[in-house]
Chains A and B, each alone.
Chain A
């Protein structure tokens, strides 16, 4: 049995792995003891000063979780996780919640600067204006920028804990309405012990004036991160939301089990982009984050649209299927994904498109890249129910293999129950051709640059869906993640 980051474990050894976010920030933390029982759930709830209904909801989720077993259907080799060897709450210690950025621990701010996320609004104004950031450090949200500016438009963008205090009716109405507590093992666990996350509410008719962004970081040893994100877009609204993740470099495996719920009402659009770069473990497969995430969006209104874009380069294990429930007539679901599995990484990721309303449409573009000993699986489902007249789906999943020790797998499920549906699915698997590499190298590119160029070309259809600043970052990330896989 593998324990997740036992306290006795050694400190992060700096290997020759090009993971540049592998530092640890030395901050005094307010932590829960190791282990998980009802008291821990109560402890977390009390720490967050939560209303009774939320504590009840957590306890119910905890009891459901106790009855469940971890899913085994994914093509993943997951070691037994000792859930009692984890710390379920870790917060940087501050006297009270930070009123402004000046009160935030300067050590913490320096961490974010190292990560390339300058929290200071001035920095944002000087650099890339128009992105509001909510930063989540271990279990709690530490700062949200641009909150006042957003408030002018009626947009609520705050930490989940704050939303529970200030907008409890909204939270109560939507929490668990897209991903039910008992949806799966990890969603139940998250529901019991989630500590923070982001909350977004876009009122009717508002086009969110800037990109919203959350930055997640696991810092403390022996902790799991369980965040919860809830985004509600009312009629005729629009929001683009970005999510980035990093973690320190450690020899142990750490657990991340998040739940993300999106709700789009009539004609609302939500664009959700993720650049997931949790620590993937070293070249020998030691350490790394176990990433078990449940992400689902409900297109509740007519002509609503939810678009998922993900660049998955990190984590030792990725188990993640951002999905769309296309309930409203003429609603649209999109899924664009690039997933890399290098060294000993394992990724089992894909999407589910459930067509319920009439004239619903979905597009799935998945690009999987396997290198080293990596195992990469696309697992997707397209379900078209009898009432989804004229539903349309297009799926394309391509896999690229680099080296002969890796694996690329495609497991699509297609279930169609109306003759008016039109569904197309294509998949290809191939290796990087020697001709392409030779062509680039002959023109003076190094083997690594040639590989990076070809991989970026392969992933282009997905990368172009990312907001610009992130697209540049993602391209670099792809190159870094594949370093050492040719030549």
Chain B
């Protein structure tokens, strides 16, 4: 049986879901059946390794390993201390592991299955078979709504754990910040032995709102993690995305940001740190559709062993995007003979009064800097580690929200084997 047919056969109604939602999921399944999986001949799937997705059927999980879930959630939670915690285990909301104590009035933070209407924008827009598959099989996700003017003091930490090996988890989420609201949302992905995760989120930021959105992939080395975010940014609002690709066999984070109204801003600070046979892919498409919109995008990559790092960034300016100011930077370090980096910083511009630029570099650690440190008594290994950390921490320096910045520093310290004391210093 083909992978597509296996998914179709595995489709089943979910207890308690409304009829209209079941119909939506069925329609998405039909779309998936028709569209199938994307192919490597498509521009935005060209560098994705589709083989694991095509050759294996990742069916919905049956049993949850409670002990494993608790352990992984505990580890992940330490990353963002003092946060409201929203935990999804194998694609379903886990209230027992979550901590939503003391949410102020004016904030709605619930599981998607209780409010499927919220994710309807994601069912309307199915750019490819994987998106359709996600809608067809989604059980849950996060729905967040922050009312006008409310500034959340504590961050919200969504932890998604996959405990059952070889399964598929599909998430649909929705974040809405009304005018002037501010929030920090961090998503951490863990677990996922030999498993597939397919997440999609739609974000809407009202006038003057500001969201900092961390997407941390720390899944197990055999996982396939595909995340997709579409964000609509209204007048004077600001969306700051922080995608950090560390774990998983393959991670693919796809951000589509629409600066739909005047003075909207996007800020993307991303990094990938890959080794072994990992493949990490960050795709961004930022559309400047309002007057005097602004983008600052910086992506850093470190690729070791036979890993493959990919950044495909596009800045598009429509006829309405006059006075756009957009900058995109990508810098990659290759640490081994067999590592590979692909970069495609693209500009598509249809307005004349714009300032757009992009820069990209690929290379090894600067030999002169290495020599400088070694001349002062550091071993080669220590010198390299120090330079790597300096290189990567520049990303953290650019993040404004202190809680997200601290979380990124902790992540980097763990990944580079630096002690917590050093981080504090």
> Taking beta carbons and an 8 Å cutoff, which residues of A are in contact with B?
73, 75, 386, 399, 401-431
Contact = CB atoms under 8 A, between A and B. Distances in A.
B343 interface: yes
A298 B363 CA distance: 25
A364 to B, nearest CB: 12
B227 to A, nearest CB: 24
A422 B363 CA distance: 5
B360 A421 contact: no
B352 A431 contact: yes
A417 B338 CA distance: 6
Nearest to A410: B347
Nearest to B359: A426
A372 to B, nearest CB: 11
A420 B365 CA distance: 9
A423 B363 contact: yes
Given A416-B334, A416-B341, A422-B363, A409 B349 contact: yes
B356 interface: yes
A423 B360 contact: yes
Contacts of A410: 345-348, 358
Contacts of A75: 348
Nearest to B333: A419
Chain B interface main SS type: strand
Interface in B303-351: 319, 322, 332-351
Contact of B342 (A399, A406, A413, A430): A413
B359 A416 contact: no
A416 B310 CA distance: 10
Given A415-B341, A422-B361, A422-B363, 15 more contacts: A386-B337, A404-B352, A405-B319, A406-B350, A406-B352, A416-B332, A416-B343, A419-B333, A420-B364, A424-B361, A425-B343, A425-B359, A425-B360, A427-B347, A427-B357
Nearest to A397: B347
Given A401-B354, A425-B360, A412 B346 contact: yes
Contact of B337 (A408, A418, A425, A431): A418
A444 to B, nearest CB: 26
A414 B344 contact: yes
B147 to A, nearest CB: 39
Nearest to A377: B348
B353 interface: yes
Which 9 A-B residue pairings sit nearest by Cβ, starting from the closest?
A: A419-B334, A401-B352, A425-B360, A414-B343, A410-B347, A429-B356, A419-B364, A423-B362, A422-B363
A422 B334 CA distance: 10
B355 interface: yes
A411 B344 CA distance: 7
Contact of B345 (A404, A405, A412, A424): A412
Interface string B347-385: 111111111111111111000000000000000000000
15 contacts: A399-B347, A406-B352, A408-B347, A413-B343, A414-B362, A415-B340, A416-B341, A416-B362, A417-B338, A419-B334, A421-B362, A422-B364, A427-B358, A429-B354, A430-B355
Contacts of B350: 406-407
B43 interface: yes
A421 B363 contact: yes
B135 to A, nearest CB: 29
A187 B348 CA distance: 28
Nearest to B311: A414
Nearest to A428: B357
Contacts of B346: 409-412
Nearest to B339: A419
B178 to A, nearest CB: 34
Given A419-B334, A423-B361, A424-B360, A402 B352 contact: yes
A113 B353 CA distance: 43
Contacts of B349: 399, 401, 407-409, 429
A419 B347 contact: no
Contacts of A412: 343-346, 360
A408 B349 CA distance: 5
A300 B99 CA distance: 66
Contacts of A413: 342-344
Contacts of A401: 349, 351-352, 354
A410 B355 CA distance: 14
A386 B338 contact: yes
Contact of A425 (B319, B322, B340, B345): B345
Given A407-B350, A415-B340, A416-B341, A425 B361 contact: yes
B166 to A, nearest CB: 32
A463 B29 CA distance: 57
Contact of A427 (B332, B343, B345): B345
A407 B348 contact: yes
A403 B352 contact: yes
Nearest to A434: B353
Contacts of A429: 347, 349, 354-357
Nearest to A407: B350
B358 A416 contact: no
A474 to B, nearest CB: 24
A386 B336 CA distance: 10
Contacts of B339: 417, 419
A355 to B, nearest CB: 12
Nearest to B309: A416
A416 B344 CA distance: 12
Nearest to A73: B43
A483 to B, nearest CB: 18
B363 A430 contact: no
A114 B347 CA distance: 41
A403 B345 CA distance: 24
